[in-house]
Amino acid sequence: MNSLSLEMADCKMQIMLVLCSFILLATLPPIYGWGTDGHSIVCKIAQSRLSDAAVDAVKELLPKWAEDDLGSVCSWADQVKFRYRWSSPLHYINTPEICTYQYKRDCKDEDGIAGRCVAGAINNYTSQLLTSNSASNKAQNNLTEALLFLSHFMGDIHQPLHVGFADDKGGNTIDVHWYKRKAVLHHVWDTNIIETAEERFYDLNVDSMVDAIQQNITSEWADEVKRWETCSLNKTACPDIYASEGIKAACDWAYKGVQQESVLEDDYFLSRLPIVNRRLAQGGVRLAATLNRIFG
């Protein structure tokens, strides 16, 4: 593919993102995954931890309009669900109400097709990116999408209610009040906890929240980071570990004490915010570790 064709493809991708963003705002569908800020935080943390080789590879794969900022495209996978309807089941895992996760039992879509869940998607797009060194220019756009999907799904799997109960669709059918506003429990974890933290503690500045989490990574959690990064059996990514942590966090923190029409205020917010911060940190650290293994 010549340089003109590559520029045209990049331009089409930019136009597609703008159009999908407009549709997203216009139709107000349910949102799945960390909100825009949550995904941005995961990717900003990850980008700051990339090796030199991974920095170069990510820069090569990012669309030009991203201006080398991985965080700016981390919500892309949510915005293209209208075009890629097949991708919707790849954002989550449904489990029975027993607070455990098993890949063979749980990683499937509503039609029972195995591997169609966020853990399977992470394995798939990791494998695709491992071919990047031998990929031709013709495959460049596919690898760009693989990077954007992997970056997004690594965030999703660390949102506790993305490994949630099938009966309530990961908290999407549990109606609550976030202070005085109506919400569903899933959205509280996607967005409300993060937005409330930004408003109260960070002057509505997402970069300030990133800085605070980064400080915890190098201080409070410093002794745990190596374990977060490590994959057993020399695997490139370990989504089953992340998913098992997720359903435990969902049971211990997200679902605990919540019923239909519960009013969630300071007691819930202040006790759950450390869990959200930790999962955002783990997502960023593990995304970086995965990309460093892929491109190292």
Confidence at residue 140, expressed as pLDDT on a 0 to 100 scale: 74
69's tokens: 């900022």
By three-state DSSP, how is residue 251 classified? helix
1 pLDDT exceeds 90?
A: no
Per the CB < 8 A criterion, the answer to whether 44 and 285 are in contact is no
Q: Is 154 exposed, middle or buried (0-12, 13-18, 19+ CB in 10 A)?
A: buried
Q: In whole angstroms, how far apart are CA 133 and each of 50, 74, 136, 233, 289?
A: 17, 23, 9, 23, 18
Confidence at residue 2, expressed as pLDDT on a 0 to 100 scale: 47
| Model confidence, pTM | 0.88
CB count in 10 Å sphere of residue 254: 27
Confidence at residue 25, expressed as pLDDT on a 0 to 100 scale: 35
Residues 6+ apart with CB under 8 A from 286: 154, 158, 228, 229, 237, 238, 242
- How far, in Å, CA of 114 to CA of 136, rounded? 30
pLDDT digits (tens, 9 = 90+) for 235-283: 999 999 999 999 999 999 999 999 999 999 999 999 999 999 999 999 9
Provide the pLDDT confidence category of residue 21 given band limits of 50, 70 and 90. very low
How wide is the angle at C-alpha 32 spanned by C-alphas 27 and 34, nearest 5°? 120
- How far, in Å, CA of 282 to CA of 275, rounded? 10
Confidence at residue 136, expressed as pLDDT on a 0 to 100 scale: 58
Q: Average pLDDT of 151-180?
A: 98
Instruction: Specify the DSSP element, H or E, that contains 163.
Output: strand 163-165
How wide is the angle at C-alpha 231 spanned by C-alphas 113 and 290, nearest 5°? 80
30 pLDDT exceeds 90?
A: no
CA contacts within 13 A on the Cβ side of 67: 1
Confidence at residue 141, expressed as pLDDT on a 0 to 100 scale: 80
- How far, in Å, CA of 242 to CA of 238, rounded? 7
State the CATH architecture for 3-295. Answer: Orthogonal Bundle (1.10)
- How far, in Å, CA of 218 to CA of 109, rounded? 38
